[in-house]
Amino acid sequence: MLRVLLIALTASLARAAPAPASPMEIAAARQLARQGMRLAEAGDCAAAVAPLSRAEALFPAPTIRVRLAECYLSLGKLVLGTEGLRRVAVEDLGPTPSRAFVAARARALTLLAEAEPRLGHLTVHVVGPAPGAVRVTLDSEGVSPAMLEVDLPVDPGEHRVKAEAEGFDQVERTITVLEGAIQQVELMLPRSSDLPPSAGSEAPPKLSRLTSPTPPLETTAAPTSRSSAPALRVPALVALVVGVVGMGVGAGFGVVALRDKARLDAVCLAQLCPLSSRGDLDLLRRDATVSTIGWTVGAVAAAASVLLAVLLANASATGQLGSPSGESSRGATGHAAWLALTDGGFEVRW
């Protein structure tokens, strides 16, 4: 069998050599191809790849390409192997191709039909930075932004996916792609927590307290206007309403997200989901995001409502709202409320 292949290779190199190739290059390609084919026939494709690749670089004959592609397939490098076979399958052999070249094309078509269903496919989804600002690598190879959200053909086995962007923390994940499977990997990049301050900017002074910790002295100042009361009550009520609505939205979409997850758990196995579930995956991401936003807005608004309520109580206690007799409310009780900003948060003291 090896003797037949070598004879066919010699005939094809002599008959279809391209014009730019010199006789010395053709002879070197023939010698390298013989060496690689002997190694491949002996079952050592790992060693055969190097001489066959050098022979193809000197003279890209279909016979050499097919044998090199077969070695790639046997080594598990299905992407390289199928691409080499596809080049032979679509290559123009000329008006009078040799029998060796015709046989090589037929062999390429057969191997391609067998190998293509074994290819794995991986879709990379990045959340956080803009698509044009993120840098993604797959097994240390750069992935163009145009290749994101696309089913990329990959070799079955373990792959490392890394994403990074300016202003975001780097994220890296390892995923095992099964033979013939279509899988997805999502990289959610959090914003960097240690960004340097911008040039010329100064850190604002830290305020230790919102009001003086020392109780105000007894004075006989004229009573102030009551106009500050509505100014504090209205924002407090608005913040309370926003907090309740935000938490309600967060809770509602959270329940929906849990239902979406339960539906996906019923059809997915070991994080592998059928293509028909892609729409459910998108719905789960949307519902979870809306739920998180709702809870966050609701919590912040509720905290603001509590803060405004404390400030309103403090204003009433210190006499800022005034009284008919012109005396502060502190004078009646002997106490006043004040709000302090500490390392652990806000603190209300009397």
**pLDDT, position 223:** 47
Pick from 82-91, 218-227, 315-324: least confident: 218-227
pLDDT at 88: 93
Amino acid (one-letter) located at 292: T
Mean pLDDT of 102-127: 94
Give the integer Cα–Cα distance in Å for 329 and 317.
5
The pTM for the full model equals 0.49
| pLDDT attached to residue 167 | 92
Average pLDDT over residues 119-136: 91
SS3 annotation, the chain: CHHHHHHHHHHHHHHCCCCCCCHHHHHHHHHHHHHHHHHHHCCCHHHHHHHHHHHHHHCCCHHHHHHHHHHHHHCCCHHHHHHHHHHHHHCCCCCCCCHHHHHHHHHHHHHHHHHHHHCEEEEEEEECCCHHHCEEEECCEEECHHHCCCCEEECCEEEEEEEECCCECCEEEEEEECCCCEEEEEEECCECCCCCCCCCCCCCCCCCECCCCCCCCCCCCCCCCCCHHHHHHHHHHHHHHHHHHHHHHHHHHHHHHHHHHHHHHCCCECCECCHHHHHHHHHHHHHHHHHHHHHHHHHHHHHHHHHHHHHHHHHHHCCCCCCCCCCCHHHHHCCCCEEEEECCEEEEEC
Domain membership of residue 193 (yes or no) is: no
On whether both 20 and 106 belong to a single domain, the answer is yes
pLDDT exceeds cutoff 60 at 349: no
Residue 317 or residue 105, greater confidence: 105
Of the chain, the percentage scoring pLDDT greater than 70 comes to 71
Q: What's the pLDDT at 199?
A: 46
Instruction: Indicate if 344 and 235 belong to the same structural domain.
Output: yes
Q: 141, 117 in Cβ contact below 8 A?
A: no
Dist. CA 188–CA 172, nearest whole Å: 10
Q: Is pLDDT above 70 for 131?
A: yes
Nearest to 39 by CA among 2, 9, 84: 2
pLDDT of 143 strictly over 60: yes
Tell me if 95 sits within 8 A of 132, measured CB to CB: no
Kindly report the CATH number assigned to the domain that includes residue 20: 1.25.40.10
Among the ranges given (34-38, 61-65, 252-256), the one the predictor scored with the smallest mean pLDDT? 252-256
Task: Kindly state the tokens that stand for 281.
Answer: 């995956």
In angstroms, the CA 285 to CA 224 distance is: 53
Q: Is residue 288's pLDDT more than 70? A: yes
The pLDDT confidence band at residue 157, using thresholds 50, 70 and 90, is very high
pLDDT over 90 percentage in the chain: 41
**What is d(CA 231, CA 119) in angstroms, rounded to the nearest whole number?**
67
In the chain, the number of structural domains is 3
Quick one: 133 and 90 in the same domain?
A: no
Task: For residue 22, tell me if it sits in a domain.
Answer: yes
What is the torsional sign of CA 37, 42, 47, 49? positive
CA distances 45 to 2, 64, 73, 239, Å, are 15, 13, 10, 71
**Predicted pLDDT at 5:** 47
Grade residue 11 by pLDDT with cuts at 50, 70 and 90. very low
pLDDT at residue 320, rounded to an integer: 47
- Please report which confidence band the pLDDT of residue 43 belongs to, taking 50, 70 and 90 as the band edges: very high
Indicate if 137 and 52 belong to the same structural domain.
no
**The predicted structure's pLDDT at residue 233:** 75
pLDDT of res. 322: 45
Check pLDDT > 50 for residue 10.
Answer: no
Question: What would the pLDDT profile of 291-311 be if each residue is shown by its tens digit?
Answer: 899 889 878 888 887 887 777
Domain shared by 328 and 234, yes or no? yes
CB 120 within 8 A of CB 155: yes
CATH of the domain at 184: 2.60.40.1120
Q: Which of 117, 148, 168 is at the close of a domain?
A: 117
Domain span holding position 92: 2-117
> What single letter denotes the amino acid at residue 204?
P
164-191, pLDDT tens digit by residue? 999 999 999 999 999 999 999 999 999 9
pLDDT for 194 equals 59
Average pLDDT over residues 148-169: 93
Q: Is pLDDT of 212 > 50?
A: no
* Predicted pLDDT of residue 326: 43
Mean pLDDT for the chain overall? 77
Give pLDDT, residue 269.
Answer: 67
Please say which residue of 117, 136, 154 terminates a domain: 117
